[in-house]
């Protein structure tokens, strides 16, 4: 007989741990499974040099434990991966959450029994668990993507993907290193790899927009001030577009006088990182506004790079600023002023193949390497769900149901898949906002729904097809009202060959989304069928 529980939780990252906390508080029994040998999700896996969060540490933290907010001391403005992992491990122990999970175990299938409205969940170590509800907390950037370049397996040196970095670290001292990819992972790791390696070659296919983090250690006074204003920070974050307590300038870009505009950009530049894309409210909706923000960015970056020909390569020309996630860096552009760092423009000289001793470029040059780092990203948002065989009504898999792109109602429900909830994924703000607050928001909402169902004697809930159709259209309409679809980003699945080009997150903002799902709940879960 399969083991019986109320809820299966897949994944013990920030969302999965909080889900276990909330479900347990409802009196439900929980079986959780986590692929890694410990909690933390992306922060468990991404241990490459320089890995740190691009949301300020004070904001990138759980909001549900007010005492913890006051007790925990973040050491820097932007926390490093080891510090975030320590934090998540601390929370798991503090709330006794580890006992709900089996670690080092992947869920390989979840199959619906339509009659009994129960899910049978199987793991790679042969466990079978039956549950009323399944919460997939699998993360949006958790399935590493290594491109199928000819000869990948022939390389005689060591190869590493940034998202699967060895836990014991890698000593690059004295080695010739190549990095493929200049997204957040590449741009964060490149300055540190350059410091250790004898020589670094960066293989860039597309230039990216990166902005200095302005990272710094937090003083006792700064920490005290942050803690004193936590309630206000959280309230502002909940009303905001991106889940951080920062509001855009009240005017649109071109409505502001030139000096005021410049001062606003300077202020955001000083604040650091990804928030630059929201200096003015129209920055990713108006091309003219975007061009102004882009010009300011270009001026700043060109001032740092010594060689104008290298600077030319580092300035993107293929997408508006902010339509891919702006990277938050620490000394990235300065790295190209080093004599032992070379930038290869793959648009001019593509990789022909990888050979035992290095990377062969079109035109014949062989770049000899000892180590190759793949900073080549993830099969984002759907990759980890696709790899679980999820089978709903009439034997239809989630992969089939989403063959033309993710179809959800509010990001929370899928028609044909009753009692299955995906946390902070496609159809919700997720990757466009603060993922910890997104996870809490979803789990709290689901906890409210499950209470509603149990009080009224329902066995489950399922999104109605017209509601799903309507939400898919709403997400598309909102994305098309922005410049976001103009970039070949992972938001659109454009980095994975054959993936349908659909803008996957809800672009309307974290606060606006919260209002929508609260209204749906207040209206008796309109758009859902209570079973």
Residues near ligand N01 (CB under 6 A):
53-54, 141, 147, 149, 162, 180-186, 188, 205-206, 325, 328, 346, 375-378, 431, 490, 495
DSSP 457: T
Closest CA to 422 of 452, 443, 444: 443
Tell me how far, at minimum, the Cβ of 78 lies from ligand N01, in Å: 8
Tell me how far, at minimum, the Cβ of 329 lies from ligand N01, in Å: 8
Tell me how far, at minimum, the Cβ of 265 lies from ligand N01, in Å: 21
Identify which of residues 185 and 384 has a Cβ nearer to ligand N01 in the complex.
185
CB 400 within 8 Å of CB 473: no
Backbone phi and psi for residue 154, each to the nearest 5 degrees, phi listed first: -80, -15
Identify the H or E element spanning 109. Answer: strand 107-113
CB 147 within 8 Å of CB 22: no
Which residue's CB atom is positioned nearest to ligand N01?
Answer: 183
> What's the Cα-to-Cα distance from 281 to each of 60, 87, 275, 328, 336, rounded to whole Å?
23, 33, 12, 20, 33
For residue 343, the cross-strand partners are: 202
Identify which of residues 490 and 525 has a Cβ nearer to ligand N01 in the complex.
490
Closest CA to 315 of 323, 330, 305, 325: 305
Tell me how far, at minimum, the Cβ of 52 lies from ligand N01, in Å: 6
Identify which of residues 355 and 474 has a Cβ nearer to ligand N01 in the complex.
355
Identify which of residues 418 and 509 has a Cβ nearer to ligand N01 in the complex.
509
Identify which of residues 142 and 422 has a Cβ nearer to ligand N01 in the complex.
142
Give the number of residues written for the chain.
Answer: 531
Identify which of residues 346 and 447 has a Cβ nearer to ligand N01 in the complex.
346
Exposed, middle or buried by CB within 10 Å (0-12, 13-18, 19+), for 37? exposed
Question: In whole angstroms, what separates CA 339 from the centre of its chain?
Answer: 34
- Alpha-carbon distance 196 to 174, whole Å? 7
Identify which of residues 48 and 471 has a Cβ nearer to ligand N01 in the complex.
48
Identify which of residues 121 and 180 has a Cβ nearer to ligand N01 in the complex.
180
For residue 530, the cross-strand partners are: 461
Over 397-441, what HEC string results? EHHHHCCCCCCCECCCECCCCCCEEECCCCCCCHHHCCHHHHHHH
Tell me how far, at minimum, the Cβ of 49 lies from ligand N01, in Å: 12
Tell me how far, at minimum, the Cβ of 510 lies from ligand N01, in Å: 15
Tell me how far, at minimum, the Cβ of 99 lies from ligand N01, in Å: 29
- Alpha-carbon distance 62 to 446, whole Å? 17
Identify which of residues 40 and 181 has a Cβ nearer to ligand N01 in the complex.
181
3-state secondary structure of 96: coil
Tell me how far, at minimum, the Cβ of 400 lies from ligand N01, in Å: 26
Tell me how far, at minimum, the Cβ of 184 lies from ligand N01, in Å: 3
């Amino acid at each position: 007989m399969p083991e019986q529980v109320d809820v299966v939780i897949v994944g013990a990252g920030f969302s999965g741990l909080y889900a276990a906390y909330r479900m347990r508080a409802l009196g439900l029994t929980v079986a959780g499974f986590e692929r890694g040998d410990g909690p933390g999700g992306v922060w468990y896996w991404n241990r490459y040099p320089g890995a740190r969060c691009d949301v300020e540490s004070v904001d990138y933290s759980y909001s549900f434990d007010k005492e913890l907010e006051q007790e925990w001391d973040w050491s820097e403005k932007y926390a490093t991966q080891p510090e975030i992992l320590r934090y998540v491990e601390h929370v798991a122990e503090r709330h006794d959450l580890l006992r709900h999970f089996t670690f080092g175990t992947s869920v390989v299938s979840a199959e619906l029994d339509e009659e009994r409205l129960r899910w049978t969940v199987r793991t790679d170590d042969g466990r079978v668990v039956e549950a009323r509800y399944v919460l997939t907390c699998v993360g949006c950037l958790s399935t590493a993507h290594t491109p199928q370049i000819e000869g990948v397996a022939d390389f005689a040196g060591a190869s590493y993907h940034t998202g699967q970095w060895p836990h014991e670290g890698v000593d690059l001292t004295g080695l010739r290193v190549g990095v493929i990819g200049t997204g957040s992972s590449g741009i964060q790791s490149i300055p540190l790899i350059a410091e250790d390696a004898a020589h670094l070659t960066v293989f860039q296919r597309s230039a990216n927009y990166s902005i200095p983090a302005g990272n710094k250690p937090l003083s006792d006074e700064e920490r005290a001030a942050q803690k004193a204003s936590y309630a206000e920070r959280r309230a502002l974050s909940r009303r905001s577009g991106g889940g951080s307590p920062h509001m855009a300038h009240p005017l649109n870009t071109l409505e502001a006088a030139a000096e005021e505009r410049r001062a606003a950009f300077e202020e955001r530049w000083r604040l650091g990182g990804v928030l630059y894309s929201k200096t003015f409210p129209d920055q990713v909706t108006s091309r003219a506004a975007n061009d102004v923000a882009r010009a300011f960015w270009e001026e700043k970056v060109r001032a740092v790079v010594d060689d104008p020909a290298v600077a030319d390569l580092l300035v993107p020309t293929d997408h508006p600023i902010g339509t891919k996630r702006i990277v938050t860096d620490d000394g990235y552009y300065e790295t190209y002023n080093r004599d032992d760092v070379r930038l290869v423009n793959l648009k001019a000289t593509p990789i022909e193949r990888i050979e035992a001793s290095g990377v062969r470029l079109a035109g014949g040059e062989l770049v000899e390497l000892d180590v190759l780092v793949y900073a080549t990203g993830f099969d984002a948002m759907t990759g980890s769900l696709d790899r679980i065989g999820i089978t709903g009504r009439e034997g239809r898999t989630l992969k089939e149901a989403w063959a033309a792109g993710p179809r959800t109602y509010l990001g929370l429900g899928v028609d044909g898949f009753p009692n299955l909830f995906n946390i902070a994924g496609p159809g919700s703000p997720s990757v466009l906002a603060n993922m910890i607050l997104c996870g809490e928001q979803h789990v709290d909402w689901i906890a409210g729904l499950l209470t509603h169902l149990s009080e009224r004697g329902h066995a489950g809930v399922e999104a109605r097809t017209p509601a799903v159709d309507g939400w898919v259209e709403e997400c598309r309409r909102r994305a098309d009202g922005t410049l976001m679809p103009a970039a070949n980003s992972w938001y659109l699945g454009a980095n994975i060959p054959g993936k349908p080009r659909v803008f996957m997150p809800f672009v309307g903002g974290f606060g606006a989304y919260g209002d929508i799902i609260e209204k749906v709940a207040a209206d008796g879960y309109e758009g859902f069928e209570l079973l």
